[in-house]
Structure 1
Amino acid sequence: MTHGFDLNERLEQRDAQNLRRHLEVAESVSARTRFADDPKGDPPEFGDEEVVFAANNYLGLADDSRVQRAAELGARTVGSGAGASRLVTGDTKVHRALERDLAASKGTERALVFSSGYAANIGTIDALAPDVVFSDELNHASIIDGCRVGASETVVYDHCDPDDLRAKLATRAADVDEDEQWLVVTDSVFSMDGDIAPLSAICDAVDEYGAWLMVDEAHATGLFGDSGGGVVQREGLSHRVDIQLGTLSKALASQGGYIAGDEVLIEYLLNAARSFVFSTGLSPPNAAAACEALRIARKTDRAAELWDTVATLRDGLETMGYEVLGETHILPVIVGDRGDALELADRLRDHGIVAPAIRPPTVPEGTSRIRVAPMATHTADDIAQCLDAFRTAGTEVGVL
């Protein structure tokens, strides 16, 4: 008899289901770089340079010299690490500067920075401890895990369907007493379909039943709205969304997450969100880097450069016969069969393009896809190489 874990068997099951993943070492975080197979404990051996359409570094700021200088200055003037929870000694001037700028971009009274977007989602839902969360069926895993940890019950509504949300709110209202606390949670931009939640209609349903609304702007922060505040800010809904959440690790090219909202919300969370209270504060270099990246997003045309690239890629892919979902900077190219999607990703790689295959269970059966994520720093030559690769590889695999 044994009471241990047979991890070899678990890995074999993942292999059998074609779900096992492997690490690859990148030489740098940029639009073009070299990769090495997982070297285990040995130094990596890099191959030829490839063009990366697989990162969430949407504005291409991760290797921007201005952001790098800001990180260096944060380390030199404040320290390389926060050293403690922010409730102890880890709350620094760069954290406060970042939070002021985030609140200004989001149109809220205050913001609070966490060590990651995942921690922000889990900590916030757990701290609120809602009786029921109404969650979009395609919400991110961090929202799902937050519901598992913090909600007494979770009701899933159909993706981007405010009518189904309203129906489920009505059913709940008819069955329970008035003292329940309800939280509606949705992503603003969905990372696998590239679509946008109908936030105004969702606000209408939430207001009708007196619930709270939390919107995760992980894939929208820095890219939408006049001040880079996201979809909520672009649509003028800051006063109707109780909790705005996002990450610093995508368009803002750093690390961490944030919550933005009213003063009382932030005061409560910094006391009650366990993932904030019991975590060392975000490192000062990361906070300083995010602050500079947000400034660039708000004050320059970097986002416009991204949207030009997105339009060129979407038009090119659709012209050659691919179905491209969504309406955002995330371009899901539908292939259908998981085997074809995996082969297409491999053939793209042969042509120097890194773009991942997304297959079940991440997406529904029959909708396997290539997820193309362009950066503002991709050049005309990069875009042309990507489109040429999709044309050649698609013909080779037989999906064109």
Structure 2
Amino acid sequence: MSKTVDFGFEIEAKLREREANGLRRDLSPVESVSANSAVAEDPGGNEPTFRDEQTIFAANNYLGLAGDERVATAAAETARTVGTGAGASRLVVGDTPAHRSLERSLAASKGTERALAFSSGYAANVGTLTALSPDVIFSDELNHASIIDGARLSEADVVVYDHCDPDALAAAMAERAGETRAEQSWLVVTDSVFSMDGDIAPLAELCSVAESYGAWVMADEAHATGVYDGGVVGERGLEDRVQIQLGTLSKALGAQGGFIAGSEPLIEWILNAARSFIFSTGLAPPAAAAAEQALELAPEQRDALWHNVDRLREGLESMGYDVMGETHILPVLVGSREDAVALDERLEEAGIVAPAIRPPTVPAGTSRIRVAPQATHTDRHIDTCLAAFEAAGEEVGLL
């Protein structure tokens, strides 16, 4: 029997420490993202439940399209006609009609000349930032980890500005400006919708600051794609001011993958220079077809989503909960990690899956329950969720 050799990494000790601090995480198998046991035999069932009638209020499947029969059919048909996988990098022999059709639809939806699909949103962020390799990246302090990692790998000087604060960005740019400014490339990078706080970046104001210093702007629309018409950038008419739009296919569009959208020269450069694109097998064609179908269906799902968002926010706030943000993501601020975990456990006992979000994902003292309603939640689901929050909050001592 071979002996495990520990080369100083002390993995087991690190795991024990993480568990002692309440930070260890485990995988929890999901039988279906769309159907509970009562409707599991119906391929068109789309109730967002799993695990013996528990209802999910934690998924990023905002429009409920991951369980939509029309999306599944598009994926299945493409699997039969094109294949289940691309088989190679897009630059070798992995570029298929499914990819090109998706990219045309994405570019049209984002109001850009062209789009490029990646295997994931993470790969799109890392690939784009390293391919551009600007001299300076100005990054919102609450940007997603994939932006942070991409900025580090780009070898740019990274300047972090206060969250959603155009004045802080302006001050940071003024401090960096000098004799070398004209010779440097500057890039402002921000999420449009922040997934843990549920707020929206002041994109127009950030663009104004960037323009005054000749900088480009890149917006990560992962949590806005599909939910807003053209994302936040499109809804606010900023297509001509945001040079790089990034999005995902794996949240509201219910598929898999990521993309960037922008000018023809930008996309040509990225596909020639982004290592996460060049050296990765192309996005699976069925995922591309599913995403394109979902993009077409998104507008008809939005009203139902916002109806559920409004009902949940109003109900939670009327109980006395502090609900953060202004979007379809409803972070219920709790405070301590212990109270958030206790609330999480009581909710799960009541059949509501909405895990606690705690440090290091969010700052100490701001632990929360991140509630993410879906378009396919019914009034019964919303009522059950609100009743569970009321009972759990009273039991934990939060109400």
**Which TM-score tier does this pair reach, normalised by the shorter chain?**
over 0.9
| Structure 2 contact 57–374 (Cα < 8 Å) conserved | yes
CA 217–47 in structure 1, closer or farther in 2 if over 3 Å, else same? closer
Superposed counterparts of 1:274-313, under 5 Å: 274-298=275-299, 300=300, 302-313=301-312
Distance 1:382 1:214 in 2: 37
| Map of 1:41 onto structure 2 | none
Aligned residue identity for 2:30: A
Q: Secondary structure at the match of 2:67?
A: coil
How far apart, in 1, do the equivalents of 2:359 and 2:37 lie? 28
Once the two structures are TM-superposed, the CA of residue 31 in structure 1 deviates from its matched residue by 6.6
Shift of 1:176: 3.8
For 2:231, the aligned partner's letter is G
Q: CA deviation at 1:180?
A: 1.0
Where 1:361 maps in the other structure, the secondary structure is coil
Offset of 1:153 from its aligned partner?
Answer: 1.1
Name the counterpart of 1:241: 242
Q: Which amino acid aligns with 1:347?
A: R
Q: Report the secondary structure of 1:51's partner residue.
A: strand
Partner of residue 131, structure 1: 135
Deviation at 1:73, TM superposition (A): 0.7
For residues 20 and 335 of structure 1, the distance between their equivalents in structure 2, rounded to whole angstroms, comes to 20
Q: Which residue of 1 aligns with 2:233?
A: 232
1:369 aligns with 2:334: no
1:295-319 per-residue CA deviation (whole Å, 9 max, x = no partner) reads 0014x2x111100000000000000
Paired residues of 2:36 and 2:51 also in contact (CA < 8 A): no
Unaligned runs of 5+ in 2: 39-49
1:351 Cα offset (Å): 0.2
Q: Distance in 2 between matches of 1:345 and 1:108?
A: 42
**In 2: Cα distance, 1:336 partner to 1:278 partner:** 43
Contact 1:82 1:282 in 2 (8 A): yes
Report if aligned partners of 2:31, 2:51 keep a CA contact under 8 Å in 1: no
Give how far 1:106 is off.
0.2
CA apart distance, 1:3: 2.8
Counterpart Cα distance in 2 of 1:189 and 1:151 = 26
Any idea what SS the aligned residue of 1:103 has? helix
Q: Distance in 2 between matches of 1:171 and 1:277?
A: 37
Letter in 2 for 1:257: G
Give the match for residue 343 of structure 1.
342
1:57 is aligned to 2:61: yes
8 Å CA contact retained: 2:124, 2:246: yes
Distance (whole Å) between structure 2 residues aligned to residue 152 and residue 10 of structure 1? 31
Q: Is the 8 A contact 1:184 1:211 kept in 2?
A: yes
List per-residue Cα deviations over 1:41-89 (Å, max 9, x = no partner): xxxxx95220000100000011100000000011011000000000011
Residue 332 of structure 1: how far off its partner (Å): 0.3
Aligned partners of 1:132 and 1:61: how far apart in 2?
38
Letter in 1 for 2:302: A
Q: How many equivalent pairs are there?
A: 384
CA apart distance, 1:360: 1.3
Partners of 1:152 and 1:324 lie apart in 2 by 36
2:314 maps to 315
Deviations 1:19-39 (A, max 9, x none): 0001111110127579xxxxx
- When normalised by structure 2's length, the TM-score is 0.94
Q: Which residue of 1 aligns with 2:120?
A: 116
- The C-alpha deviation readout for 1:206-252, integer Å capped at 9, x for no partner, is 10000111000000001112xxx100000000011010001000000
Structure 1 residue 95, shift from structure 2 partner: 0.4
User: What's the Cα RMSD here?
Assistant: 1.4
Deviation, 1:7, is 1.0
Q: 2:315 & 2:156 partners in 1: Cα distance?
A: 47
Q: Which residue of 1 aligns with 2:9?
A: 5
CA distance in 1, matches of 2:391, 2:233: 40
Q: How high is the TM-score relative to the length of structure 1?
A: 0.94
Note the residue ranges of structure 1 that are not aligned, 5 or more in a row.
Answer: 35-45
Cα distance in 1 for partners of 2:51, 2:85 equals: 33
% same residue: 66
Question: What SS is found at the alignment partner of 2:25?
Answer: coil
The 3-state SS of whatever aligns with 1:315 is: helix
TM superposition shift of 1:4: 4.0
Hey, what's the Cα distance between the residues in 1 that align with 2:132 and 2:216? 11
**Secondary structure, aligned partner of 1:295:** helix
Contact persistence 1:324–1:333 (CA under 8 A):
yes
The DSSP-based 3-state class of the residue aligned with 2:293 is: helix
| CA distance in structure 2 between the partners assigned to 1:112 and 1:245 by the alignment | 10
Residue type at the aligned position of 2:333: I
- Note if 1:384 corresponds to 2:352: no
Whether the 8 Å CA contact 2:330–2:372 is kept in 1: the answer is yes
DSSP 3-state at the match of 2:183: coil
Which of 70, 77, 94 is the matching residue for 1:73?
A: 77
| Secondary structure in 1 matching 2:134 | coil
Q: Aligned partners of 1:47, 1:190: CA distance in 2, in Å?
A: 29
Partner of 1:222: 226
What SS class does the counterpart of residue 331 from structure 2 fall into?
Answer: strand
SS in 2 for 1:26: coil
1:33 & 1:156 partners in 2: Cα distance?
Answer: 47
Give the Cα–Cα distance (whole angstroms) in 2 for the partners of residues 152 and 284 of structure 1. 34
Alpha-carbon deviations, 1:352-399, whole Å to 9, x = none? 000010111211111110000010000000000000000000000000
Asked whether the 8 Å contact 2:218–2:246 carries over to 1, the reply is yes
1:39 matched residue in structure 2? none
Q: For the structure 1 residues 73 and 366, does the alpha-carbon distance in structure 2 shift closer, same or farther, using more than 3 Å as the test?
A: same
Q: Look up the match of 1:254.
A: 255
Deviations 1:266-292 (A, max 9, x none): 000110000000000000100000000
Change (3 A) 1:238 1:72: same
394 and 172 in structure 1: CA distance in 2 versus 1, 3 angstrom threshold: same
Q: Counterpart of 1:38? A: none
Q: Is the 8 A contact 1:33 1:51 kept in 2?
A: no
The amino acid across from 1:243 in the alignment is: I
